[in-house]
Amino acid sequence: METIYIILPDLSAGGAERVAITIARILKKSGYNIEFINLGKPEGDMYYWIEPEFKMTSFGCKRVLSAIPKLYSFMKKHPNAKYFSSREHVNIVGLLCAGITKKEIIVRIPNMPKNNLVKGIAGIKASIIKGLNQKLLGKAKWVIAQNNEMRNQLLEFYGLSKRKVVAINNPVDKEYVLNSAKEVVNPFPKDEVVFLNVCNIAYSKGIDILLQAWGIVVNAIPNAHLYIAGRNNSEYAQQTISHVRDKDKVTFLGFQSNPYPYLKYCDCFVLPSRMEGFPNVVLEAMCFNRPVASTSCVEVIKEIINPGKNGYYCDIEDPEALAEIMIKAVKLKQIDNSYDLFDKDKLLKLFC
């Protein structure tokens, strides 16, 4: 069977990269030969997530665009291979090289095309990416949207063929998630009611809304404590953190290479986002039967959360409503996790 190469920009951990690794494990278990191409240096948070399981080729490039000659050369030397990418700027480079070398590439879109939450330099980059997507996405063998809402936006925004764009909800490797927290001790003090959020802090993640809601929650639950895990070294993240005082009962844990012990032992997982592509971390929390309080940041949340059964959801940008559902959700204690919209067969057919 031909090799499928999964292209990553580097080995820093993000949601799209984690999904790519989960897809790699699914394909490997289904008999495919999977290898990774890392456009950056062989170092970073994900190095040890990949190397024990998969062969990886690293190009050592500082920028994704500078990797074009090496990726082109690599594709020329591997004529029978297929390629997969899950980050938009990598998709563009992959589509360019695959188009020239006549190779098949499948791309997954990590963000809603109509996402207008990015500003400044990030907003300019997003606009450039969207412009290039309009020219290049049609060259992909398949374009994977994370949900039907995203698929509809892709069809409308980029004018793509309906047969080319496939909606596949993100997979969660439940076995891997549970095993990652199998023999760990509770990282939280036992006398606390623990609320947890896991994200790379950015405006779209709504941490400022969560912090506004938090005062209401603490007044109702005096022994409550909020923990936020994830990369927080951006200027926006540091500005957000600077408003938090020691007495606020909020702890920023920073990046955690293994966040699953925190998910396993929290009392309630909170997703305060303004926008998400697909909320994988919500499903990972549910692997441990944790109740969830979430904004309706993407329509699929209303399919995942059954109010009063496994959590609650509320509108975005509403701190009072978020506080209310956090207080209600934590009372659920444990929930039954019966949600599963991932279609494995649908995914495998794309790589045939």
Give the CATH number for residue 306.
3.40.50.2000
Output the six-digit token pair for 91.
């998709």
The neighbour count for residue 32, using CB atoms within 10 Å, is 16
CA triple 192-194-198, angle to 5 deg: 150
Same domain membership, residue 195 and residue 126: no
State the virtual CA torsion across 313, 318, 319, 324 in degrees, nearest 10: -40
Which of 102, 96, 57 is CA-nearest to residue 79?
A: 102
Same domain membership, residue 131 and residue 271: no
Output the six-digit token pair for 304.
């995942």
Same domain membership, residue 214 and residue 307: yes
345 lies in some domain: no
Query: Which of the two residues, 118 and 121, has the higher pLDDT score?
Result: 118
Same domain membership, residue 33 and residue 58: yes
Q: Assign 110 a pLDDT band (cuts: 50, 70, 90).
A: confident
Return the pLDDT at 44: 87
Output the six-digit token pair for 179.
């095993």
348 lies in some domain: no
Kindly list the distances between the CA atom of residue 295 and the CA atoms of 172, 216, 236, 326, in Å, as whole numbers in the listed order.
Answer: 20, 17, 21, 11
Mean pLDDT for the stretch of residues 322-349: 88
DSSP structure class, residue 139: G
Distance CA 339, CA 283 (A): 8
Same domain membership, residue 210 and residue 143: no
Same domain membership, residue 41 and residue 181: no
Distance CA 131, CA 88 (A): 11
342 lies in some domain: no
- Are 11 and 43 a contacting pair, CB within 8 Å? yes
Same domain membership, residue 145 and residue 186: no
pLDDT digits (tens, 9 = 90+) for 126-153: 778 788 888 899 999 999 999 899 999 9
Same domain membership, residue 130 and residue 186: no
Q: For residue 269, give its domain range.
A: 176-330
Q: Domain end: 118, 133, 167, which one?
A: 167
**pLDDT at position 117 over 70:** no
Same domain membership, residue 97 and residue 185: no
| 34 Cα distance to chain centroid | 21
pLDDT digits (tens, 9 = 90+) for 217-264: 999 999 999 999 998 888 888 998 888 886 789 999 998 989 999 999
**Predicted structure pTM score:** 0.84
Same domain membership, residue 237 and residue 99: no
254 lies in some domain: yes
Same domain membership, residue 191 and residue 68: no
Q: How many domains does the chain have?
A: 2
Q: Domain end: 167, 192, 208, which one?
A: 167
Same domain membership, residue 63 and residue 155: yes
Distance CA 12, CA 61 (A): 14
143 lies in some domain: yes
